[in-house]
Structures are given as structure tokens and as C-alpha cells.
Structure 1
Amino acid sequence: MHAGGSGDRPADIGLGFAQTGDVAADRVVLRATLRPDGDAEWRIAYRIELTDDNTTAAFESLQTDIRANRSAYVSRFETRMATTVGAAENATGREMAATNFSVSAQRNPFPTSTDYGVVAYTFTWEGFAATQGDRLVAGDALAGLFLDSGTVLTVAWPDGYEVRGVAPEADERSETAVTWRGERNFGPDQPRVTVAPAGAVPSGRRTSPWPRCCSSASPARWCSAAAATSRSAATSSTAAPRAEGRATRTPWTARIPRTRRRQRATSATPTTARATRTPPTATTTKRTPRPRRSC
């Protein structure tokens, strides 16, 4: 498994037989738990399946040796991880450090039907995740990571946070963690996990459901007043043009073109005259008969 490198040369994350002596691990479980400041608590657990007496005896011998020479095991692991963290620091341009190393070896640390021995290393990876405001973006320190078929990677986040983005799609997902299983080869910008405090609104979006003029202390009172003012303003702005239109409206005859008004006036004159003309006074005229001609 490799991670934290730049270009085509990712650094070795420090997993190998040197961490478990001469006993080969059947599964390696990587878990990074993010902290709000961008640091991460790492736990790398080597699980050894105790299937027979020889394997069981080998693990018990390793367990005894770790307890007797704990500092030697921690020192070897710390040296390997310092190389990994240094490469990640150069690749990301973010200041990093690895501190607080410890190692433990125990048998059956969790209830399963299979008997396991587990060698676990823990340490703090300072600066593991980038902080962007209240968001945490983790994974660039592991860019191009390769997981073999026996390796699992889990990234967890603090209580009160929620996931905002995961790439690539995780094999397992819960409310507080995502998990990828090998065999998997992450891309140059993978893995990526983005989390933020639960309920936080992305930048640029309003955080209050009330209008901007309202007071959060008494939204009902302020909102009712704002709504009434808004309705009054809307009514006034709508009614003003209508009233103005009625006050300045011209008679309909004024909107008739001048030539049409002249024609209408001309055609209306005879009708008006006929309607108002007084008939002449009747007079009696006697006709004078013509004289007859004589033969």
C-alpha cells in the first residue's frame, strides 16, 4: 500500500512484515478519525488469523516481544511514517507532522467466531485534512493510494459533523464514516472526504427562513409588520397609476383623428337641421282663372 506521494512516486505508508515481525497479517485495517482542527487520529491494525497451533504460537511470541521491546517497535514504525508524512507535506504544501506513537498487541480484541491476534499502531497525523472555514477536506495526503485485497481504509469524522462529499463512492457508509475495501487503486485526486458541521449552510446561502428585515428574537411580530408594510406599498404603487390615469384621461372624441371628426360633423349637420327645422306657415292663395278666347 502506498500513499502521500507526489507525481508518479507515492511514498510507502509503512505497512509490511517489519511491523509484525515474522508473522504475516491476513488483513490490514486503516482508520483515520478527523478532528475539527484538521488533525487525524490514525489507527493501523494488523489482523492475524490464528488458524492453527503454529500461527498461534508465532503470534504469542510476537506479543511477548512487543511488550518487552515496545520502544523499538514504535521507533521503527515512526521512522517509516515520518517518510510518508514528509512526502504528503511536500505534495500538499500543508505543514504536517506525525506524533504520539504507540503500539499494542492483543488477542481477540473484538468478539468474532474466528480467533484473531491484532497488532495495532496509533499516532496523530497533524495537518492531515485541509480546513476551509468550518469544513474539513481529507484525502489529498493519500492521493493515488493503492489498497490490496487484504486492506481496508476508513475515514471517520467528529460527532456533530455530516458528510458533504465522497469520492470515489465508498463501499460502506454510515452517519460518521466511509469505508473502501481493496483491491482498489485511487486516482490522483482520490480519496476525498468533505465534511461540515451538521446544519451548516454552504457559503452564499441564507441561514434564516425569515425575511432580512425581521428580528430573530421576535420574528412573528416583525414579519407581520413587514408583510403589512409590503402589502400597503404594493397597493399604493398599483392604485396610483390607475388614479392618475382617470384624472388625465381625455374624452373619447379627442382620440378621433381630426379628419374623421370633420366628416362626422358634416354628416351630422343635415340630420340636425331636419330635426330642428320649423315648417313654413301655411297660406291660402287664390288662383285667377284665365280668360276664355272667343272664336
Structure 2
Amino acid sequence: MKKFSMAIVIIVALALVGAAAYAVLVYDDNKADDSKSNSNQNQPEQNKTVVAPVETDNKSLTLSVKYPGQGVGGYSYSTHQTYTFELTVDSNGWAGKSNIMIFGERSDGGIDIGCMSVSVNGNTIQTTKNYVEPENVLSAMVKNVNMSNGGSQNIPVEVTFNRVGTFTVTFQAFDEKGNPVSAPLKCSGLNVPESGKVGLSINEHSIKDVNGKKYTEIKAEVVNNTNVRVVINASDFYLVNGSKSIQADSGLSNPESRELNFSGDSLRNDKMEIDLYFDYSGSLAGYHLEYRGAYGADNVPLN
């Protein structure tokens, strides 16, 4: 009987130990879950990637700007010319580091890298392109603009338009996590019109025999001095003397057609040589070479 009682005591003791161990495991698991939950709740907010202006009621900072042509009706901007936007950032009781975003949009044909460049104090700021329905938006960032409570910062933002079209430049301040701390400040209707014309010069001219027929051959150089791409066609050139006008033979002329990039192209694709043939072999006294294509050139005398 004593042995049986002892066995019962041992079984009960083991059961109690097992229950206690289970309780400890359950408690530890719950503690781990609580710790994980608290860890998730206390994780820092992830930095946001800002790709376009954000409408907000936050007015921790106020932006204002002055720039050439501001408020002037019909004002036009030029390509490859730098314009300074004098941006002022005022604090309304907010202090800390802010990032000033500069956004660029273009209504004519959309915008791409290279259409607009941005710099501050002569230092170029990298621009990125993002698609924001319904079009692309360029963005550039002035980093770590320190603001004190009630303080003010002046930032000279230099903008260069490299394409024609109507641009919109927008400024907005964000905190270090990408949250807006100012309303967007929009400068719209920045018109960059087409300008310039084609340049034409003659290198040499002579009479050439082609398959037993004599032609006047003119070797000319064409330069695109406009701010847009221009297609040069041989058929747009004429040999003119008062009432007489002789069109170039596009079948013999070389090249028959070529597109020239806008003026100032770094790869020099803004100029070309063209070999023109005209069905004429008489005297060239009183004649001039005339270009009748888009963005017409000045006439060039042949004598």
C-alpha cells in the first residue's frame, strides 16, 4: 500500500512540474508576441520618395519666389539661358532640416531628362524623371536646408530650359522623411518659343557632267541655328536669278534629306554638308542659292 501511495505522489509531482513548464512556455511565447507587436508599433516611419508636388494643409514653412518675367504678360524665355529663381523659405514656428524639391513639367510633348537643368550657386543638381499620371515630372532636391523657429533662408535656384515649350516649375518643402511641410509653390506658363533660322554658306561650285548632261554642282554647308530639330531636304534649295528659279535635283543631290539637331548639340549633329545638283550649266552671274524650307536661311550670292 505504501508503494502504491508513493507512486501516486510521484505521478502528481511530475504532472505539476509539466504544468509549470507549460505555463512558463506559454508565458514566454506571449511575451515574445507582445515584444514583437511593440517592436512593430515602435518602428520608425520609412522615408518617402517624393516624385511630384503634394497638396497639403501643412504650413510649417512658407515659400515665396521672385524670377525674371514674373507677372509680365507675353514674356518669353530662351533655350540654353539660365534664369535665377530667388526662393525664400520662412519658418512658421518649425525647426529642423528640410529638403526643398524642385519639380519641372512641360506641356508640349512632355518632359524628359535634359529638357531642363537645375543648379544652386553654380552647382548642378541631379534631376530624375518619374511618370506621374498623366505625364512625366522631373524632380531635383536641395538637401538639408536648416530652418530655425521663425528663421528664413534664401536659395538662388538657377533653371535652364533646353527645349521649347511651356514649362511649369514648382517648389515645395518636405521634412527628412518626405512629409510635406509647405504648400507647393507653382510658377506656370513659362513659355520657351521656337527661335532662330538655318545658316547657309557655299564652299564651292562648278559644272559637272552626269551621264552626258551638264549640271551646276554646289557644295554647301547648312547649320541649324534654331532651338528645334530641323529636317533639311535637297528639294528645298533653288538656284535663283530674278524671274528664273531652278529647283535642286533631289535624285542627284546628296544627301536627299537629313534631320539636324538643335543649335549647340555637343555631338555636332547640328550641321551638315550637302552636294546640290541643278539642271543648269550657264553663267551664274546674278544668281544666288536660296533655301525655302522651314526656318529659312539668308540667300547666298554665287558671284
Asked whether the two chains share a fold, i.e. TM above 0.5, the reply is no
TM class by shorter chain equals under 0.3
- TM-score normalized by structure 2? 0.23
TM-score using structure 1 length: 0.23
Structure with the largest fraction of helix:
1
Which one has a bigger Cα radius of gyration?
1
Which structure dedicates a bigger proportion of its chain to strand?
2
